[in-house]
Chains A and B, each alone.
With several copies, the nearest count.
Chain A
Amino acid sequence: MGTFRYVLRDTNRLLFRHWGLSLLTLFTAVAVFFLVGSSALFMLNTRYLVARVESELLVQAYVKNEAQLQTVADKAHKIPGVASVRWVTTAEAMERLKTRLKGHAQALTILGENPLPPSLEIGLARAVLAPSVARELLAMPEVDDVIYAGGLADKLARVSRFATRFSMFVLVIAVTASALVLFNTIRISIYSRRDEIGVMLLVGATPTFVALPFVLQGMLLGMGGALGASLLIGGGYEALVRGVEATLPFVQLFRDPSMLLRLGLILLGGGITVGWISSWMAVERFIRRALRPM
Chain B
Amino acid sequence: MDVRISGVTKLYEPDIRALEDVYLTVPKGEFLYLVGQTGSGKTTLLRLITREVMPTKGQIAVGEYNLRKMSAFDLALYRRDLGVIFQDFKLLPHLTAMENVAFVLDVIGVPPAEVKERTGEVLERVGMWRRRFLRPPQLSGGEQQRIAIARAVVNAPSLLVADEPTGNLDTHTAEEIMQLLLSINASGTTVLMATHNQFLVDAYRQRVLELHMGRVVRDEKRGRYELDGDF
Question: Interface extent on A, as a size class?
Answer: 20 to 34
Q: Is the interface of A mostly helix, strand, loop or mixed?
A: helix
Residue-wise interface mask of A (194-224) relative to B, using a CB-CB cutoff of 8 A (1 in contact, 0 not): 0110111111111101000000000000000
A203 partner residues in chain B, CB cutoff 8 A: 79-80, 84, 103-104, 107, 151
Closest residue of B by beta carbon distance from A10: B106
Segment among B109-117, B126-134, B169-177, B188-196 that sits at the interface with chain A: B109-117
> A17 vs B92: C-alpha distance in the bound complex, in angstroms?
13
Question: Is the beta-carbon distance between B50 and A204 smaller than 8 angstroms?
Answer: no
CB of B11 to closest CB in A, whole Å? 11
Contact with A along B72-85 (1 / 0, CB 8 A): 11011111111010
Contact with A along B60-81 (1 / 0, CB 8 A): 0000000000001101111111
Min CB distance A56 to B, Å, is: 64
Interfacial residues of chain B within 139-194, with CB under 8 A of chain A in the complex: 151, 155
Judged by a CB distance under 8 angstroms, whether B90 is at the interface is: yes
Give the distance in Å from the alpha carbon of A131 to the alpha carbon of B84 in the complex.
82
- Given the known A-B contacts A293-B53, A293-B54, A294-B54, are A205 and B84 also in contact in the complex, defined by CB atoms under 8 Å? no
Q: Does A6 contact B (CB under 8 A)?
A: yes
How many Å lie between the Cα of A6 and that of B102 in the bound state?
10
Query: Does B217 have its Cβ within 8 Å of any Cβ on chain A?
Result: no
Across the A-B interface, how many residue pairs have beta carbons closer than 8 Å?
76
Q: Give CA–CA (A201, B84) in the complex, Å.
A: 12
Q: Which of A14-44 contact B (CB under 8 A)?
A: 17
Is B51's CB within 8 Å of the partner chain A?
yes
Q: By the criterion CB–CB under 8 Å, are A199 and B53 in contact?
A: no
Known contacts A3-B106, A6-B107, A196-B92: A207-B72 contact under CB 8 Å? yes
- Known contacts A3-B107, A203-B103; 8 further A-B pairs (Cβ under 8 A): A1-B112, A195-B92, A196-B92, A202-B50, A202-B90, A203-B151, A204-B82, A204-B155
A residues near B (Cβ < 8 Å) are 1-3, 5-6, 13, 17, 195-196, 198-207, 209, 291, 293-294
